[in-house]
Amino acid sequence: MAETPISSCETHSSSRLQKVFQQCFTQKWNTRLLGGADEPLYQPATKSGARHMLYYREDYFASALHEVAHWCIAGPMRRQKTDFDYWYAADGRSRLQQQAFQAAEIKPQALEWFFSRACSYRFQVSLDNLAMEYPEAVDLVEFQSSLLRQARSWQQSGLPERAGLFFEALCREFATEVRAEDLQFSLAELVT
């Protein structure tokens, strides 16, 4: 998915997301969010006193939201490993790699959808595979349905702790003041 940099847009400036992240997480979880990277990356601190760094691509607002979503659901062990110890296969994944990617992306993308709503920003589903060799291997409707089920499940059970903190802070920063349980999620929103 090609995305337009939004640093010129004051409302959806990635620097606002960095500020909110720093306020929520820098002191308690010793983690900073920074843009400007060629590719997203989570780098745990390698020495005492250093900070964990969560990098997002360029200054893309959606990239920052997505990387924060990954960080918010990563457990303590994963947060001690580079890129949370996830594998990543670039564009042109095999059918099995794409299916594994989509299975691993349900929770982060569902969480990104919450964050997008907190910012009044349009969420877009990402298959992250523009050079797909086997487009028939992708059941986009099933992937979208899985995102919807996960979003609704979190509405019922509550967001994970760090995700809930970030969601509420985004609502204050972007003056949406919505409650997660009151959001209306639908498949129609996910159609590109």
pLDDT tens per residue across span 58-78: 999 999 999 999 999 999 999
Note the pLDDT of residue 99: 80
Question: Model's pTM, two decimal places?
Answer: 0.88
Q: Do 141 and 173 have their domain in common? A: yes
pLDDT at position 120 over 90? yes
In a domain, 2, yes or no: no
Q: Provide the 3-class DSSP secondary structure of residue 32.
A: strand
Note the pLDDT of residue 21: 98
Q: Higher-confidence residue: 177 or 107?
A: 107
* Parent domain of 156: 95-190
Q: Higher-confidence residue: 40 or 4?
A: 40
In a domain, 9, yes or no: no
In a domain, 89, yes or no: no
Other Cβ atoms less than 10 A from the Cβ of 13: the count is: 16
Domain stops at, among 39, 54, 84: 84
Note the pLDDT of residue 5: 37
Q: Do 184 and 132 have their domain in common? A: yes
In a domain, 137, yes or no: yes
In a domain, 50, yes or no: yes
As to burial, measured by CB atoms within 10 angstroms (0-12 exposed, 13-18 middle, 19+ buried), residue 51 is: middle
Note the pLDDT of residue 3: 38
Q: Total domain count for the chain?
A: 2
